Structures are given as structure tokens and as C-alpha cells.
Structure 1
Amino acid sequence: MQNKKINLKFLINTLITLIFFINVQFLLAQTDNNSYKIKIDGLAAVVGDFVILDSDIDKTIIDLQSQGVNTVDLDRCSLLGKLMEDKLYAHHAEQDSLEIDSQQIYNYVDQTIDYFINQLGDIDKVLEFYKKQDEQTFRLELFEINRVNQLSQKMQTKIVDEIEITPEEVKQFFNNIPKYELPVFGAELEISQIIVKPEVGEIDQKKVIDRLESIRNDVVVNGSSFATKAILYSQDPGSRSKGGKYTLNRNRPQMVKEFRDVAYRLKEGEVSDPFKTDFGWHIVKVDKIRGQEVDVRHILLVPEITNMALSEAKKKIDLIRKRIIDNELTFEEAAKSFSDDKGTKNNGGVLINPTTGDTRFELTKIDPVLYNQIQRLADNEVSAPLLESDKQGNQSFKIIKVSNRHDEHTADYSKDYLKIKELALKEKQLNAIQDWMKEKIIDTYISVNQDSRDCNFTNEWLKK
């Protein structure tokens, strides 16, 4: 129900932050690589209003080690250069008064602390593990790390945000690539699907509605804890352990429209009546409203699917498949008429690659589950019906077709235009960033410690 990309990004940030706060000296003592000398308070460089310590470089090394990167031959000069780039972005983001979302950062900090507590037991153990005197200091340090990261990202986005590429520039970019350096693209194909979901009977829907109304009454009338009810009964794995809690932002829709519409109509402390989304039936309680952000808790219940409903769905998709094979309908016509998948129905069942935005999937980069479903299909062959379950346990039947297969090949201008356009755009953006970097280095106060002045930096940090 929430955007999974946001959750994944937060998890990555959390793990990186965790590494940053582990005692540097202790961790480096555990590694066989003794070439790194720690000067905890040593000043490495100053960029604008930002100071970079030698310990910041050590923390970066630890972060890379945690990701499995071999750091034996790592160049500390390169790491310092990267940190200076980040601080240059952040400094000029402040100079340009770029707005950051402080509340989002506070939310990240809250989630990070919750994650640490979940791993270690309680806040006292967290503070002891990370050698922090008190929770407030720890939170401020976490906030500052995320604040600088967000400033840096905002500045980089501003530099490239309005850069566009024309067809003529794409063609020129392609023509300038020597034939022996043309990229090779892996085998690709298009994938289409038709999904049939079992219909939930009225009796089963009423059971869920009645159960939610009973829970709501216990909360509103008897004063029971909504959070406790969510932990006990909600079928949403993403929020159940947190008492059903989500934070909504009116400027960044993360939930389905039906959910947002109900949540934004409620006042603080108010609990909704049961309502339906594609995920099932919900009740929502608003905990707090803070401007554009709303803290809510919800309980999700999913009606039971009977064996009879599953059997009827199987019969329906079998008939759809037969009509396609008998040439009564094309796959596209059948998808538009019968598919229960809103995301692909109007597109004739064709899947959109979430990474590239087009309809082609490279086999080596495809989701493993989907790959197993299509690997033995010939072009335009319709698969046998597949029974699937989503994360909420909802079952549905699916048939798949692959088409427009292209074997591994050297880049072709007409066939691979979208990919080539993306490469050309990235090069243009990179050039813009490099030009910006050269200009700002000249205009910004920068000081590099004497110990690092022999570094062969990519950028002219020393202003020779």
C-alpha cells in the first residue's frame, strides 16, 4: 500500500547511519588492514561552512567495508574528494536557500531510533552501544547527517533538473561513439499479463465490515487502544508491528487515493467508518495533524476467499486463455475486457519496466519470480494459468505472454533510441555538474590540510 521504494531507501539510509555511529576506533581495530591512521579530531578540509574531519574519512571506509567493498587499495584522497563534493553541494544549497523537509528528516530520525531499539532492546542499550551520552544528542547528530545529505541531493537535483536533450543531440551523441565502443544491450522482451481475482461473496465482506465496526466501537465507546487493536488484528504487514501507524504527507502521496481521501477528512482523534480499497477493508484513526503531515493508524482486514470463488476464477481465466488460443480474441483485447489488474488493463496487459519507463525488460535484470514464469515461453505463447499470492495473502490467477524478443545486440540507434537517449542525457547532466563544480570551487572558501595537499584530486580543490 505504501511506496516500497521509499521503504527500501530508508532502510539503506538507516544501515549507513548505523555504521557511522559505531565506535570508529573499535571497528578499525578488528580489521587486518592497519594502514589507516585515525586522528579523531584531525581537520582534513573545510568547504564553505562545513568542516571535514579525518574521522569522517575513516567512517566512510567503515561504511564501504560493511557493504563488502575491499578497501585495502582504497585511496583516501579520493574519499576526501568525494566528501568535499558533498559538502560543496550542501554549502551552496544553503546559500541558494533551497528548502529541505525538516519534518521528513525528523521522521527518518524517529524511524532510525525505532529500528535501533528493535535491534538492541531499549533506548539505554542503544545509547550504550553507540557511546552517546543522551538521546537528544544522538537525535541531533542523526538529524544533521540527514540534513546535509538532503541539502546535497537538493543541490544536485537543481543543477540537472531543467536539462533536456533534443533528438539531434541524441543522434550526435550516438554518432560520436566509436563503433568498437558501442554499448551491448542484453536480451530483451515485452511482457503482457491478464489477472483474474476471485470475487468475494457478500457474506464474507459483511463479516469483515462487522468485525471492523465492532473494533471501532470498542475504541470509540469503551476507550480501547487503537494501536493495540492494530497489533492484534490488522493484516497489513507494513504497519501491524507499529500499531498501524503511517505518516501521510499531502504533498507526497504514498497511499492509495481511497485511503487518503478518508484520512484527510478526519479530525484529530476521530476514527473512520469501515471503507474499502483494493487491499481490503480498513478503519483509520487520526493521531495528529501537523500542517501538511498527518499521523494515522489503521487496521486492515481482508475478506476470506472461499474455495468456490477460487474455482470460479480458475474457470474464468481458463476460458479467457482458450478464446485467445482459438483466435476469438487477441491478448490485448482480452486484457482490456477481462483483466482485474488496473495497472495494465488499459494498456492491453503490457507491463511497464519501472526502471526504464518503457515496455522492454532485459532478461538479466528481471525480477527472479517473473523470470521463472517466462523463461520457457516462446514469442506470443500464452502461459498456463498461474496461481499467485500477494504480501497480504490475496490470491489471483494470471496468464502471461512474451513478445518482441530481441537477442543480445550492439546498440542500434532506431531500435534502442530510448536507452541511447538516456545515456546522452546522463552525459549532458554530468557535464553540467562538472561545469558547476569548477565555477563554485573558484567562488567558495576551501582549505585542505597540509597532509592532503599532495593528493591528485579530480577537482581543483587546491586552486593551483
Structure 2
Amino acid sequence: MRKQRNIILATFAAATFLVGIGANAGSHAGSAPELAQDTLVTEERAPEHSIVDEVIWVVGDQPILKSDVEMMKLQGEMEGMTWNGDPDYIIPEQIAVQKLFLHQAEIDSINVTEAEIAQNIEMQINRWIQQAGSREKLEEYKKMSITQMRQQLHDDFRNNQLIQQMREKLVSDIAVTPADVRKYFNNMPEDSIPLVPTQVEVEIITKQPKISQDEINHVKNDLREYTDRVNNGETSFATLARLYSEDPGSARQGGEMDYVGRGMLDPAFAAVAFNLTDPKRVSKIVESEYGFHIIQLIDKRGDKIKVRHILRIPRVSAEATDSMRMKLDSLAADIRADKLSFEEAATVMSDDKETRNNHGLMSFNSEEGRTSKFQMKDLPTEVARKVERMEVGDVSDAFPMVNEKGKHVVAIVKLKNRIAAHRATINEDFQVLQNVVLQKQRAEFLHNWVVKKIKTTYVRMQDRYKNYKYEYEGWVK
């Protein structure tokens, strides 16, 4: 099956634009996208070799540049993706559709928090770290620091989340009944019934290697220095947060967090933050599950608080990682020798709160709801590599990984169950089949929404883009 590129919206500054488009589009630049369809005036194009960049489409008041398309095409090639058609036409259309959703998100006042953006960026960077083998190898491969990667990803991830939330809002009222599911699949040929991929259930024990006191002292001394510089009037807290904080969600904002209630914060962080009264003072050093912080009050509003903070994360040494691997290898040997069960060990010993309370069983939020049944692609990379070679009941040797909070840990896993790939059945896989029908109905609704939106949106494109058979009708009139 061919995998088609799902465009991540990006914008690039154009060095020069095609002669004529800037002037023709200028009269519409300040207008809302809800305008009558217009026909692009035929332009006299400059020789291809002389064009550094050019506007090829305009959607509402938003240009699509040739460089946008070239960059997306290059990314697709690097990721081994194929196209169901000509990417020079498919990509501009996909970017245009994304702009329609972004415009509607603005109209509907859809918002995403910096915390949401940061969480998704961190998950992406952690996947890259696992693939590269270490932070250092990733930075060498990307030729930029982790901080620079976070900054580069920020706007794309923000736009993607706005689009996702807008799409979810549009289809939120669509539902299917059991009768809808049965009717759909009773009329489907047997060889067309969806294949449910192999699924696994995995239990995990993670332990964080001990961080040396010297490393902790180093981090604390840095935070004390930042406090002294703020108190002495040498610089502002916000400036230091932008320079040194390791919280990607707030560092770009000078360490500033949105108004938040006590229950949304780490308990240790909240205990100090909610006791601050003087915006000019910097808190004592606070240790949370994420690292060490200093905090500055901005405002209190009812039972919510707005603060700035600087986060510093102590580094784990290779020696500490090796020592923890030996301890978990010894624990794995005891479990294999039936001295204790994996579930007992996970409940008592694991550092992972999410799985510890579930006897080590991993789970995640799927489209069908919370489930412990993972497809291999949904598992953390390092866990998937271990599980792939294991039999049901096997316990792995210890291995290092980066968890969802960005911490370096050592883990062992047990393969609890493996469900072989099979054709879906109503009795065994009803949720899977229900989701297929639901996604089909949602896709049809969104397709029709885009077509309707195109009719009321100002769209212009260069003549050479007008003769392609696009997925959505109405771009050209």
C-alpha cells in the first residue's frame, strides 16, 4: 500500500516573487478569506532559471510558495514516501486544505496551550533520540542543538494541533450505532474486511539511574547564580529563562506559564508556587519529577496562578546507567527463576507511576479509547525492538530508553500476550469495525466541508496548476 504524504504546514520567506502576483494579490491581502472565487490574470512568467522563489497559489490572504512545495517534496523523499499522483500538484492542494482548517480555527477561537505543544515536541525529539542512539548523536546528525530543534518544530506543531482540534470539533457530533456497523460489514466482501495487525500486551519496569551529587550541586549552583543575577538587577528572570530553561513549553515565553490550577502542577512545584506573594522575589530551589526549578510569581486569579520558572535537568552519567542495568538484569534473572513475579516487582519497584499502579501493564489512548493492546508501531522504539524477538511470557534483559517525560531510564519488559494478525470479526473486534465506519463517515463529512469552504474562499493559482484533477473540486472555476 502506498503511503501518501500528510503535509506539515510550513512557511518560508520568499526572496523574490513572480512578477505580477504581488500586485494582483495585494488588493485582497487585507480581506478575510470568505471572498468570491476569482480568476488569476495571465502573467508573463520570468525564465524558470531566474526565479528564486514564487507564489504559486493564494488561499484567502495566505500565499503558498514554490519553496513550500519543494521542501515538503524533499522531506517526503527523505522519509521514503510515495505519492498517489504528481506531488507538484498534490502538495499545494494539501497545504491549501490545511490553510482552510487554520482559518476556521481562528474564526472559532480554537487554542492550544504551550504545554500541549511542548509535550508533542518532546515526544518527537525523544523518538529521534531513540532512533539516533543518544542526544549527542542526534545533535550531530541534525547539526543543531536539542534547543534549536524545539524552536524549529514549534510553529509547525502548533499549526498541526490547531488543525487537529478543528477537525475534531467539526466531526464531534458524528456517531455510529451497532446497527450501522453490522449493515456496513454484512454488505462487504470477505476479502475486503479490515485486517487487524498483530497486537501485543507488554508489562514494564523502569528505574531511573542515580544522578551524582556533584551533578545535582552543579545544577543548583547555576540556579542560585540565576537568582542572584535577578536580585542584583543584572538581568531579568525572563531573559535567563529564554537562555537556560530546559522546559521547551515555557522557555520561548521567558519561562511564563498560563494560568493554572494547583491540581495541574507537580505537587512540590505547586506547594512553592502557590505560596509566593511578591512578584519581585525568586523562589527557593524546587525539586519536581521533571528536575530542579526556580519560580517567579506573575499574578494570582482566584484559585489559579500565573508564574515564570526556569527548569534545569541533571544529567545521568554512563556509569550510573551501567550500574542500573546490572541491577535490573539481576531482577530479571530472579523473575525468570520464579523468585517473584514480574507483576509484584513492578508494583513495588518500578519508578513509572503510570504502569506501577497497573502491575506494570502498559496502555495508551487509541482511537477506540484506552487500551493495553499495542500495535508494534505504537510502542516506544526500544520496547518494540525487544518485544519483536520475544515469546509470550519472556522477560527481557535491561536496556536504556528515554521515557515520555524526557528522562533517561533503564527498563525490563515482559511480553504478556500476542494476538496474531487476523480478519476483524463483529464479536471479537467490534470497536475496530465501529471505528472503521466512524472514520469513513467523518472523512466524507470533512471532504464535503472542504468543498463547501472552497466555494466561499478566495483562491488564485498560476495557470499551470489549473488543469490537474484535484481531490477536492472547486479550486478552479
Shorter-chain TM-score bucket reads 0.5 to 0.7
Distance 2:349 2:238 in 1: 39
1:377 is matched by which residue type in structure 2?
A: M
Aligned partner of residue 372 in structure 1, secondary structure: helix
Q: Which runs of no fewer than 5 residues in structure 2 stay unpaired?
A: 1-5, 41-54, 58-63, 122-142, 145-154
Which of these residues, 17, 20, 23, is aligned with residue 15 of structure 2? 23
**1:293 CA drift (Å):** 9.3
Q: Which has the higher helix share?
A: 1
Structure 1 equivalent of residue 259 of structure 2: 250
**1:193 CA drift (Å):** 0.7
CA contact (8 A) 2:35 2:458 kept: no
1:302 is matched by which residue type in structure 2?
A: P
CA contact (8 A) 1:191 1:403 kept: yes
Distance 1:243 1:84 in 2: 28
Distance 2:387 2:446 in 1: 41
Residues 20-419 of structure 1: pairs in structure 2 closer than 5 A? 21-23=13-15, 48-49=34-35, 55-56=56-57, 58-59=65-66, 61-68=69-76, 74=86, 85=97, 89=101, 97-101=107-111, 155-198=166-209, 207=217, 211=221, 214-215=224-225, 218-219=228-229, 221-225=231-235, 236=246, 238=248, 245-250=254-259, 256=266, 258-259=268-269, 262-263=272-273, 266=276, 268-285=279-296, 294=306, 296-300=308-312, 302=314, 317=328, 320-353=331-364, 357-363=370-376, 366-387=379-400, 396-419=409-432
Q: Which runs of no fewer than 5 residues in structure 1 stay unpaired?
A: 1-8, 27-36, 112-118, 121-142
Distance 1:383 1:99 in 2: 48
Number of residue equivalences: 399
Structure 2 equivalent of residue 125 of structure 1: none
Aligned partner of residue 246 in structure 1, secondary structure: coil
CA distance change for structure 1 residues 318 and 450 in 2, over 3 Å: closer, same or farther?
Answer: closer
Structure 2 equivalent of residue 5 of structure 1: none
CA contact (8 A) 1:90 1:148 kept: yes
Question: What is the alpha-carbon root mean square deviation over aligned residues?
Answer: 5.5
Distance 1:200 1:62 in 2: 45
**1:175 CA drift (Å):** 3.3
Distance 2:379 2:113 in 1: 36
Distance 1:297 1:336 in 2: 33
CA contact (8 A) 2:426 2:433 kept: yes
CA contact (8 A) 1:227 1:243 kept: no
CA distance change for structure 1 residues 166 and 264 in 2, over 3 Å: closer, same or farther?
Answer: farther
CA contact (8 A) 2:325 2:399 kept: no
CA contact (8 A) 2:392 2:418 kept: yes
CA distance change for structure 1 residues 65 and 287 in 2, over 3 Å: closer, same or farther?
Answer: farther
Distance 1:183 1:41 in 2: 52
**1:367 CA drift (Å):** 3.9
**1:147 CA drift (Å):** 11
**1:205 CA drift (Å):** 9.9
**1:401 CA drift (Å):** 0.5
**Identity across aligned pairs (percent)?**
23
Q: Structure 2-normalised TM-score?
A: 0.61
CA distance change for structure 1 residues 364 and 102 in 2, over 3 Å: closer, same or farther?
Answer: closer
**1:400 CA drift (Å):** 0.9
Deviations 1:303-350 (A, max 9, x none): 878979985x66864664355334454322321222121121111111
CA contact (8 A) 2:207 2:411 kept: yes
